[in-house]
Amino acid sequence: MACKRGALIVLEGVDKAGKTTQCKKLVQALQQEGRAVEMMRFPERTTAIGQLISAYLENKSDLEDQTVHLLFSANRWELVPLMKKKLEQGTTLIVDRYAFSGAAFTSAKPGFSLDWCKKPDEGLPKPDLVMFLQLSPAEAALRGQFGEERYENSVFQKAVQQNYEQLMKDPSVKWQVINASQSIEDVHKDIITHSLNSINTAHNLPLGALWK
């Protein structure tokens, strides 16, 4: 390899856990150290597929649950060439949600197994680290009302949380649980420590394939 590759680092968690705030703080802190780092998020709503997903989430359209699940996955696959290029060039990617959201959210719907939900994302670039921002439903409720989009209610979020717990039992993925009930700064300190370790380790490892 001409240069050391970047790390693929994902933040996951239920709504209100602070994923987006922490992703932004992490990117800023790493960039300030002079590192090549960029943020990505899924769904990436700006693409044609992303716009279909966005309309669905905003209740402006209806889609079969299977259809939207596959669109979420296709939205990740369409960005794989870009992700691989950046990682090979040495840029670390900090990603707000990934295939784990896909599996945890759809399998919270009636009639969907976790195995079925994972299938379309098999073989995606495997994250070097997935940090799960852990926050109890009670603490999430204290952080204010849920928004207006689909899935933003406490019953659904509890089911999502249970599915994440199932996913975290898989030792083929490097999970790190972060206590998201701490202050924003303390959560940030934990996240940066784990990220720096992951960046240093990833340099010497080939990029893996998820769930394969």
Could you tell me the two tokens for 69? Answer: 């699940």
Binning the chain into helix, strand and coil, the percentages to the nearest 5 are 50, 15, 40
Q: In terms of Cα–Cα distance, which of 30, 77, 28, 26 is closest to 49?
A: 77
Give me the least distance between CB of 192 and ligand TMP, in Å please.
Answer: 21
Give me the least distance between CB of 156 and ligand TMP, in Å please.
Answer: 9
Could you tell me the two tokens for 46? Answer: 């700006």
Burial of 96 (0-12, 13-18, 19+ CB in 10 A): buried
Give me the least distance between CB of 206 and ligand TMP, in Å please.
Answer: 25
Query: Which lies closer to ligand TMP via its Cβ, residue 157 or residue 181?
Result: 157
Give me the least distance between CB of 181 and ligand TMP, in Å please.
Answer: 20
Q: Specify the long-range contacts of residues 46-55, CB closer than 8 Å, at least 24 apart.
A: 47/75, 47/78, 47/79, 49/74, 49/75, 49/78, 50/75
Residues of this chain that interact with ligand TMP (CB under 6 A) are: 42-43, 57, 72, 97, 101-102, 105, 151
| Alpha-carbon gap, residue 76 to 123, rounded angstroms | 11
Query: Which lies closer to ligand TMP via its Cβ, residue 83 or residue 199?
Result: 83
Q: Which value, to the nearest 10 degrees, does the dihedral of the CA atoms of residues 150, 41, 132, 196 take?
A: -170
Query: Which lies closer to ligand TMP via its Cβ, residue 9 or residue 57?
Result: 57
Give me the least distance between CB of 151 and ligand TMP, in Å please.
Answer: 4
Query: Which lies closer to ligand TMP via its Cβ, residue 199 or residue 210?
Result: 210
SS3 42: coil
Query: Which lies closer to ligand TMP via its Cβ, residue 6 or residue 43?
Result: 43
